[in-house]
Amino acid sequence: MSGLNDHSGICETVVNAIQRQTGSVTVAEFGALALTILATDKNNRSRLATAGACESVILLLQRHENSVVVASRICSAIHFLALDNNNRQWL
């Protein structure tokens, strides 16, 4: 994958895709769903935050505030990301 180093995992890849396609409602919808699933694992929460997931979900929520599906999926992702105390400062 172009632009990703050899140590990038799925957490970083999903966040990278979201950040590159913030205007796409489809990427926002399924990216938020992927973040939610990944963030259910407590070990992934800090990796997602380091990759920029907290900032990304806020940006997506602002850009797609009129989409009920996107907003609900983003709120679900925020819920799981916020279970990590360190992530709460970004959210």
> What do you get for the CA distance between the two ends of the chain, in Å?
29
The predicted structure's pLDDT at residue 44: 95
Separation between Cα atoms, residue 46 and residue 9, nearest integer Å: 13
Note whether 11 and 41 are within 8 A (CB).
Answer: no
User: How confident is the model over 15-44, as pLDDT tens digits?
Assistant: 999 999 999 999 999 999 999 999 999 999
- The whole-model pTM stands at 0.87
The predicted structure's pLDDT at residue 8: 61
User: How confident is the model over 42-60, as pLDDT tens digits?
Assistant: 999 999 999 999 999 999 9
Separation between Cα atoms, residue 71 and residue 85, nearest integer Å: 22
DSSP H or E segment with residue 64: none
Largest Cα–Cα distance in the chain?
A: 37
